[in-house]
Amino acid sequence: MTAKPKFAMYWAASCGGCEIAVLNTHEKILDVDANFEVVFWPVAMDAKYQDVEDMEDGSILLTLFNGGIRNDENERLAQLLRKKSKILVSFGSCATEGCIPGLANLSPVGEIVNTAFNTITTDNPHEIYPRTSYDVPEGELHIPTLSKILRPLDQVVDVDYYMPGCPPESHQIAAVIDLVIKVIHGEAELPPKGTVIGAGHSTVCDECPRARNVKMIKAFKRIQDIAPVDPTLCILEQGVPCNGPATRSGCNARCPQAGAQCIGCYGPAEGVMDYGARLITAFSSVIDANEPDEIEKILDGIPDPTGQMYRFNLAGSLLKAAKPAWQK
Amino acid sequence: MENNHFEPTIIGFTCNWCSYRAADLAGTARMKYAPNVRLIRMMCSGRLDPTFVLRALSGGADGVMITGCHPGECHYMEQNYKALRRFLLLRRVLNGMGIEPERVKLVWASAAEGARFASETTLFVEEIRKLGPLNWGKSDSEPKTVDREELSTVHRPSSELEVPA
């Protein structure tokens, strides 16, 4: 067999940071080129959806799909690429658990459109709103229609592997590329379907070099409000809500090492069904108060509890979206 | 479904040492209380992972009742305080998700308080009945996309949406 296996990468509701992370693998990207034929990658090469539709089913060996499913175009592409790919990887936090675009699941879709097109920061005196269809002499034009809520990829199609991270760390991407190339040459085997690849199996705390003691927190503070931050002591212990205890390892505790709290971009740690619930448990365990009034006062130090618990995981959580978003 | 015919589904978590025995006592003493609660026994209210509550609510429950030993009387020293803190934080998170925080209730009941367990349960069922069904995510399965008409005629901004410059 002389033909190289085919590779595709697609972005749905995402920021493009995942593709940057892939390019950040530096010379490893040449290995991708040497071992794969890149057939579809809108950010890097010109290709039409029709080209993908014309391919044989299952003819793409590996598709990295990043971004959540926010509109009917995203959904169509997810289904199309599922059909054409042997291995579909939910790549990055958006596809895996909704990520920042998933926070829109707190608001009804009309409110989102209003915020984008008519707030005090957007000058729109003629109240021009996007129309999803428009008649022109050549026919009717359509733009994608928003869905009520954003859904992670696996709520729409069957997914083979998950690769968390916002974005996935480049050294983890490089390791996964190496693995797939080995599999192609028959030197390694693929992990079982549904495996989280390119990440650790524990929590960020396990990779964090900061010293940990028994935590007794009397007040939650924002990191800019404590000065100086002790560079060697656990950040949560210093009163800053750090999401490390609930978050999957794999990033080498980058943020805590750089002096900032973990915000949870690697998603739920192994075995965690609901990220926010695990974090509630973790924070509740370290609060040093037993009286309801005092506990409430300490909790006032977390100004946006829902955002804190579900910054990256709202769409992938058990509740998936806030009531106003799915109700109407 | 009309509200007066609405029978709430309540999931109740009880601790082995106090509140489960309170429920047991209410039963053996043949006290009458609302039959809407499905009780799940745990060893301690400190075992209550907020995941259980979220799973119950997302799976069709209209309310969740968490019960445990009175403060200071926990069989495992002070795990019920952990339950209290989790409950208070969880309520704040649920509020942000548009769920009435009253749908989750914390009740302390000792093994001798069968009557209290029964009356608190009945009271909670009535409270939930007033709030109505939660039906979490039910309308999510209907139309997947917002129809084109709705988006084209999107509501004009209300003044509360605007932020002061």
| pLDDT tens, residue by residue, B28-86 | 999 999 999 999 999 999 999 999 999 999 999 999 999 999 999 999 999 999 999 99
User: Would you state the pLDDT for residue A151?
Assistant: 96
- Note the helical H segments in A142-228: 170-184, 204-207
- CA–CA dist B125, A21 (Å, integer): 52
Q: What's the distance, CA B50 to chain centroid?
A: 11
Minimal CA separation from B27 to chain A, in Å? 31
- CA–CA dist A115, A121 (Å, integer): 9
Residue A195 has what DSSP assignment? Answer: -
Report whether pLDDT(A111) > 90: no
Which of B50, B96, B143 is opposite residue A306, by nearest beta carbon?
Answer: B96
User: Would you state the pLDDT for residue B41?
Assistant: 97
Report whether pLDDT(A156) > 50: yes
Strand partners, B66: B13, B106
Q: What is the pLDDT of residues A36-59, one digit of tens each?
A: 999 999 999 999 999 999 999 999
User: Would you state the pLDDT for residue B146?
Assistant: 54
Strand partners, A96: none
Report whether pLDDT(B148) > 50: no
Indicate the pLDDT class of residue B161, thresholds 50, 70 and 90.
Answer: very low
For the entire predicted model, the pTM comes to: 0.91
Q: What is the pLDDT of residues A225-280, one digit of tens each?
A: 987 889 999 999 999 999 999 999 999 999 999 999 999 999 999 999 999 999 99
Q: What is the pLDDT of residues B83-140, one digit of tens each?
A: 999 999 999 999 999 999 999 999 999 999 999 999 999 999 999 999 999 989 776 4
The CA–CA distances, whole Å, from B19 to A46, A178, B11, B114 equal: 65, 56, 14, 8
The CA–CA distances, whole Å, from B80 to A47, A184, A216, B49, B66 equal: 59, 54, 17, 12, 10
Residue in A closest to B48 by C-alpha: A281
Chain A residues touching residue B90 (CB < 8 angstroms): 277, 280
Report whether pLDDT(B2) > 60: no
Minimal CA separation from A125 to chain B, in Å? 12
Residue in A closest to B144 by C-alpha: A147
CB–CB of B93 and A306 under 8 A? yes
Residues 6+ apart with CB under 8 A from B25: B111, B112, B113, B114, B117
Chain B residues touching residue A325 (CB < 8 angstroms): 98
- CA–CA dist A197, A103 (Å, integer): 24
Q: Best interface-test mutation with B: which of A72, A217, A274, A317 has the largest number of B CBs within 10 A?
A: A274
Chain A residues touching residue B54 (CB < 8 angstroms): 274, 276-277, 317-319
Q: Which domains does chain A have, with CATH numbers?
A: 6-101+148-184 (3.40.50.700), 204-327 (no CATH)
User: Would you state the pLDDT for residue A34?
Assistant: 92
Indicate the pLDDT class of residue B24, thresholds 50, 70 and 90.
Answer: very high
Give ipTM to 2 decimals: 0.93
Q: Burial letters for B141-152: b for 16+ Cβ neighbours within 10 Å, e otherwise?
A: eeeebbeeebbe
Q: Which domains does chain B have, with CATH numbers?
A: 7-157 (3.40.50)
Indicate the pLDDT class of residue B4, thresholds 50, 70 and 90.
Answer: low
Which of A148, A276, A319 is opposite residue B58, by nearest beta carbon?
Answer: A319
User: Would you state the pLDDT for residue B43?
Assistant: 96
The CA-based dihedral angle spanning residues A57, A62, A65, A69, taken in that order and rounded to the nearest 10 degrees: 20
Indicate the pLDDT class of residue A30, thresholds 50, 70 and 90.
Answer: very high
Report whether pLDDT(B157) > 50: no
